[in-house]
Structure 1
Amino acid sequence: MDRLKVIEVFEGLSFPGNLHTQESLRAAVNFQFQDTDVLLVTFPKSGTNWMQQILSLIFNKENPQHAQSLPTWQRVPWIEQIHLLNCLTDVKTSKVRLLTTHLHARLLIHKLKNTKTRVVYMARNPKDVLVSYYHFHKLAKFMPEFDSFEDFFDHFLEGKVFYGSWFDHIKDWLSVQQELNFFLITYEELSQEPCQTIQNLANFLGEQLEPKDLQNILHYCSFSFMSQNELLNYTLIPSDVFDHSVGKFMRKGETGNWKEHFSPEQNTRFNHVYQREMGDLIIKFPWSQE
């Protein structure tokens, strides 16, 4: 707990020191990926826990209960966190290692581009990311404190939060997708068309899903199931790290919650920054900048 308020700065990005050290971050940048690995890439609060569960279920479809045998962070660990080496012995399924990262592509591309590692990038409406991230700062005692939502809003738009700018993160990964075995999936698609989206993901991963497999996955990755399971909902994290009295790690699991938090002025400002940063992208995401 002595590192709870430590901030690590690495390659121009800041990270919570209770989860990262200079050594763990350097190890991530030099991580030796295997051709059979599956790497989940997200910006924080983009549905990481949800997708970790889905990946576990796809590769354990014959025994979906096995996907609940360990906490999420042990089954699909972050390569940049200090706990990785302790978790690597747990991530081996019969076929693959499932791994996660919040790192930007510029830090990993040199190790990934000459492998067949399957990279799954999960994106989410950045307005919802901002709101979810704000609430996470109140829950997690290792995250910096902000005076108000307005204060956090400003820092998020300026990229002055842990793991850097959302805009830089997603543009960085999209810019190298042609060099990788890459699959883009969004929180919104998964929410609106879960069956087809999970089937498309399984196809990319080379996994055949029978109708009963898909139904099992939909059940075990549902918000109602995950939010009540201590191996999935992070209630196992001690209270000196997560203040469970102020909120839940799995808060709502929905889209469009930003509308309950943004003022009209904030929405206009966010849309202006979004258009400036993302306007040149050919790809169109399934969220509107209303």
Structure 2
Amino acid sequence: MENIVKNDMDLLRPNDGDVYLVAYPKAGVTWMTEIVTAIYREYALENPNCASEFDNAVRAHAFCEVCPMSRRVSGDKNKKVIGYDANGNEIFENEYEKRRRIVSLHFPAERMGKMMPDAFNNANVKMIYIARNPKDIAVSYYHFHCMNDVLPTPNSWQEFLDDFTNGSVRWGSWFDHVRGWWRKHEEMISENKPQLLWLTFESLKKDLKSEMKKICEHLGLELSEEGLKMAVKRCTFASMKADPNRNHSKNKIFQGDFLRKGKVGDWKSKFTDEQNMQFNLAVVDHLKEDFSTLTRNFTGGEKIQ
């Protein structure tokens, strides 16, 4: 935390027009980054007077727990990279051109409140939280560990599931993460602060076009029917998986598909009946205070008995 404040706090400080995309790992924040980028691209095409602000917006990632969005020195040692545009080109510190920022992160609500309190109080900063069925998250996270050279390889699926259930994985407990952000969402609504939009991975899969309309409205942007159609087409799983610039196949730390399946309900191919029963009990136990909102908002519609 001390290093972040000293070196990178100004990069995390919210600017008017910033969009913060938040999710627990493997819940869909990469997909949401593509969605917002696609909306910006189409908006720039339809609004030439402000195109430079939206086209090739800075995409910055604050995934690292130690030094988020660190100023990485590029090949030119006099320049430092603070993010990337939609084509993967580096964006350098102190560039004069005004650009929108799309910042994707995994921060729990409490941590974000300590590090970036202005994000919750600035009406010109928008946030989107993406929730997903934790069983699908656990399976996706397990495969991500198996193919990622910088993460420890699990000894077994059962061991990883136990660690996931106990919160003994990177970014900690899913239960704490989703509960913290849900309560922040409810708190902001009660205070008439509509900056935080809550979506689920499952709703995006079910009707991407309708959910993208919600996102446009949340961001205060309007697209034509044709613009929306083009944005949706660009953000299908098949489109992203087939594009080397977006499927992370060029990243050498990944020894497999970063975009693996993108399915709803894939957990059924991995969970045994006993594992499913035990995990359901853990969900009810950890989230009992929020059980009334559990099915609709936390687990993508799956009923947990």
TM-score over 0.5 for the alignment? yes
Structure 1 residue 55, shift from structure 2 partner: 0.4
The one of 116, 122, 128 aligned to 1:115 = 122
Change (3 A) 1:197 1:87: same
Please name the residue that 1:46 is paired with: 27
The separation in 1 between residues aligned to 2:265 and 2:58, in whole angstroms, is: 29
The one of 237, 254, 257 aligned to 1:242 = 254
SS for the counterpart of 1:266 is helix
- What does 1:1-290 correspond to in 2, within 5 Å? 23-24=3-4, 31-61=12-42, 62-63=44-45, 75-81=58-64, 82=67, 83-85=69-71, 86-88=81-83, 90=85, 96-109=100-113, 110-116=117-123, 117-177=125-185, 178-179=187-188, 181-238=195-252, 241-243=253-255, 247-281=256-290, 282-283=292-293, 284-285=296-297, 286-289=300-303
Moved more, 171-180 or 97-106: 171-180
Moved more, 83-92 or 144-153: 83-92
SS for the counterpart of 1:174 is helix
Please name the residue that 2:49 is paired with: none
The separation in 2 between residues aligned to 1:27 and 1:227, in whole angstroms, is: 35
- The CA RMSD measured in Å over matched residues stands at 2.6
| TM-score, normalised relative to structure 1 | 0.81
Structure 1 residue 148, shift from structure 2 partner: 0.6
Structure 1 residue 103, shift from structure 2 partner: 0.9
Computing the radius of gyration from Cα coordinates, the structure with the larger value is 2
SS for the counterpart of 1:255 is coil
SS for the counterpart of 2:129 is strand
The separation in 1 between residues aligned to 2:108 and 2:3, in whole angstroms, is: 17
The sequence identity of aligned pairs, in percent, is 27
**Structure 2 alignment gaps of length 5 or more:** 47-51, 72-80, 86-90
Number of aligned positions between the proteins = 259
Q: Is the 1:118–1:205 contact (alpha carbons within 8 Å) kept by the matching residues of 2?
A: yes
Change (3 A) 1:26 1:53: farther
The separation in 2 between residues aligned to 1:272 and 1:28, in whole angstroms, is: 41
SS for the counterpart of 1:77 is strand
Q: Is the 1:40–1:121 contact (alpha carbons within 8 Å) kept by the matching residues of 2?
A: yes
SS for the counterpart of 2:22 is strand
Q: Is the 2:148–2:254 contact (alpha carbons within 8 Å) kept by the matching residues of 1?
A: yes
State the Cα deviation string for residues 82-104 of structure 1 (Å, max 9, x = none).
55431347579966211111011
Q: Is the 1:223–1:253 contact (alpha carbons within 8 Å) kept by the matching residues of 2?
A: yes
Structure 1 residue 253, shift from structure 2 partner: 1.0
Change (3 A) 1:165 1:27: farther
Q: Is the 1:36–1:95 contact (alpha carbons within 8 Å) kept by the matching residues of 2?
A: no
Q: Is the 2:136–2:266 contact (alpha carbons within 8 Å) kept by the matching residues of 1?
A: yes
Structure 1 residue 195, shift from structure 2 partner: 1.4
The separation in 1 between residues aligned to 2:248 and 2:4, in whole angstroms, is: 22
The separation in 2 between residues aligned to 1:218 and 1:267, in whole angstroms, is: 34
